[in-house]
Amino acid sequence: MPDRSWEVDLDHLESLIDDRTKAIVVNNPSNPCGSVYSKEHLEAILEVAERYMLPIISDEVYEYAVFPGHKFYPLAQLSENVPILTCGGISKRYLVPGWRLGWVLIYDKNQAFESEVKPGLIALSQQILGPNTLVQGALPAILANTPSSFFENTMQVIQKNAEICYEALLRIPELKPIMPCGAMYMMVGIDIPKLDGILDDLDFTEKLISEQSVFCLPGKISYANYLKINILYTPSGSISYHIKKHVNFKKRKKKLNLHNSSCICFTNICYNFLQKNAEICYEALLRIPELKPIMPCGAMYMMVGIDIPKLDGILDDLDFTEKLISEQSVFCLPGKCFQYPNFFRIVLTVPEAMTEMACKRINDFCKNHRKSDA
């Protein structure tokens, strides 16, 4: 509710719950509203969840991104009985979008997630995907060593930008900015009838970019007749600060240049590792009658042929990979992406134990879909 600091309309929330509802999603601090919920409001949401016996998925990726005078409460700290999955990550707090590192924390005093959700999360986190391993390695140092002044400076810049936007937009009679309390966005109401030749918020933002080259998102996605302004400003040097401090790329690069032999050694280790993984995959998949792996000679991928007619309920390679991820949590790209129908692609960069587990799951998948007459 915009006029109540974007609090959730609890009656509306309750009216949406039915027997198909699996969980309540809470995003605090919020994208796009910039709201930061009070302790009392979070407790009221928890009360609804408890009454309907629903778990909560709490997206707290903007944790601590709050302006002075407001306080962020991790939802799990307030929960007595409601099981909570808290999602966090480094992209917002450290101003590093694109570094792709996040986490899910499980709060589950009564073991409600034990039998299905926990194994599901483990399976999902073990898909054959390429995680950002460099940043994963740097994460303990990032969390432990970033001085609090970095966050204070960031929030000062964002708050200053919010105030500049708020004061300037308040003077425009057709707009109604809502001052955020945190995160890095501001929602602005538009009085459409007061504007000539503007149909709605989508039309407003389309014309705004074509006439003034200012890009904002229309509220249409969730709040009609609003526009979302991104008030983030990356303080100069913040990204290089992190690269220098935590990953130490520059030093590493120098070292590699100075010691050419260690560079060659590193490359050898990489290629030995990739070749070993390729051999593990090749041998394991060769034993599956419906698959025909092709041993690679380089790069970090393996293509695997699929004998589709031998599999029950599988239409083609796209269907194969879609069902493989939903049934076994193994993510591979279908050959279709590369104009190689009836193949799928495996990435060979994951640790040996995970490669073995993925092959075992691919085996289980083919076994489950094997035609009875095969």
- Taking the complex as a whole, the smallest distance from the CB of residue 24 to ligand PLP amounts, in Å, to 15
Q: Which positions from 221 through 250 interact with ligand PLP, judged by CB under 6 A? A: none
Query: Which residue, among 167, 175, 190, 178, has the nearest Cα to 3 in the 3D structure?
Result: 178
Whichever of 91 and 275 has its CB closer to ligand PLP, that residue is: 91
Candidate residues 34, 55, 74, 89; the one interacting with ligand PLP per rule CB under 6 A: 89
Q: Report if residue 119 touches ligand PLP, rule: CB under 6 A.
A: no
- Taking the complex as a whole, the smallest distance from the CB of residue 69 to ligand PLP amounts, in Å, to 22
Q: By CB under 6 A, how many residues form the interface with ligand PLP? A: 8
Q: Check if the beta carbon of residue 45 is closer than 8 Å to that of residue 56.
A: yes
Whichever of 27 and 127 has its CB closer to ligand PLP, that residue is: 27
In order of 38, 66, 148, 181, 334, the CA distances from 69 in angstroms are 12, 8, 17, 9, 51
CA pair distance 83, 76, nearest whole angstrom: 8
Whichever of 61 and 190 has its CB closer to ligand PLP, that residue is: 61
Contacts of residue 116, Cβ cutoff 8 Å, sequence gap at least 6: none
Whichever of 59 and 290 has its CB closer to ligand PLP, that residue is: 59
> Quick one: DSSP state of residue 272?
H
CA pair distance 263, 261, nearest whole angstrom: 5
- Taking the complex as a whole, the smallest distance from the CB of residue 99 to ligand PLP amounts, in Å, to 8
Q: Check if the beta carbon of residue 142 is closer than 8 Å to that of residue 244.
A: no
Q: Report if residue 102 touches ligand PLP, rule: CB under 6 A.
A: yes
- Taking the complex as a whole, the smallest distance from the CB of residue 9 to ligand PLP amounts, in Å, to 19
- Taking the complex as a whole, the smallest distance from the CB of residue 33 to ligand PLP amounts, in Å, to 10
CA pair distance 124, 354, nearest whole angstrom: 12
Q: Report if residue 27 touches ligand PLP, rule: CB under 6 A.
A: yes
Query: By three-state DSSP, how is residue 209 classified?
Result: helix
Candidate residues 68, 97, 131, 309; the one interacting with ligand PLP per rule CB under 6 A: 97
Query: Which phi and psi (to 5°) does residue 190 adopt?
Result: -120, 130
Query: Which residue, among 308, 314, 315, 303, has the nearest Cα to 348 in the 3D structure?
Result: 303
Candidate residues 6, 8, 28, 59; the one interacting with ligand PLP per rule CB under 6 A: 59
Binding window for ligand PLP (CB under 6 A); candidates: 89-97, 155-163, 206-214, 310-318? 89-97
- Taking the complex as a whole, the smallest distance from the CB of residue 62 to ligand PLP amounts, in Å, to 7
- Taking the complex as a whole, the smallest distance from the CB of residue 27 to ligand PLP amounts, in Å, to 5
The whole-angstrom distance between residue 223's C-alpha and the CA centroid of its chain comes to 22
Query: By three-state DSSP, how is residue 91 classified?
Result: coil
Tokens of residue 243, six digits: 């690269």
Whichever of 61 and 186 has its CB closer to ligand PLP, that residue is: 61
- Judge residue 40's burial from the number of C-beta atoms within 10 Å of its C-beta, 0-12 exposed, 13-18 middle, 19 or more buried: exposed
Whichever of 60 and 290 has its CB closer to ligand PLP, that residue is: 60
Whichever of 89 and 218 has its CB closer to ligand PLP, that residue is: 89
Which sign, positive or negative, has the C-alpha torsion 268, 274, 280, 282? negative
- Taking the complex as a whole, the smallest distance from the CB of residue 12 to ligand PLP amounts, in Å, to 20
Closest residue to ligand PLP, judged by C-beta, is 91
Q: Report if residue 31 touches ligand PLP, rule: CB under 6 A.
A: yes
Q: Are strands 102-107 and 84-89 parallel, antiparallel or unpaired?
A: antiparallel
Tokens of residue 232, six digits: 């983030």
Q: Report if residue 130 touches ligand PLP, rule: CB under 6 A.
A: no
Whichever of 38 and 91 has its CB closer to ligand PLP, that residue is: 91
CA pair distance 273, 36, nearest whole angstrom: 47
Whichever of 102 and 341 has its CB closer to ligand PLP, that residue is: 102
Tokens of residue 208, six digits: 């705004």
Contact positions vs ligand PLP (CB under 6 A): 27, 31, 59, 61, 89, 91, 97, 102
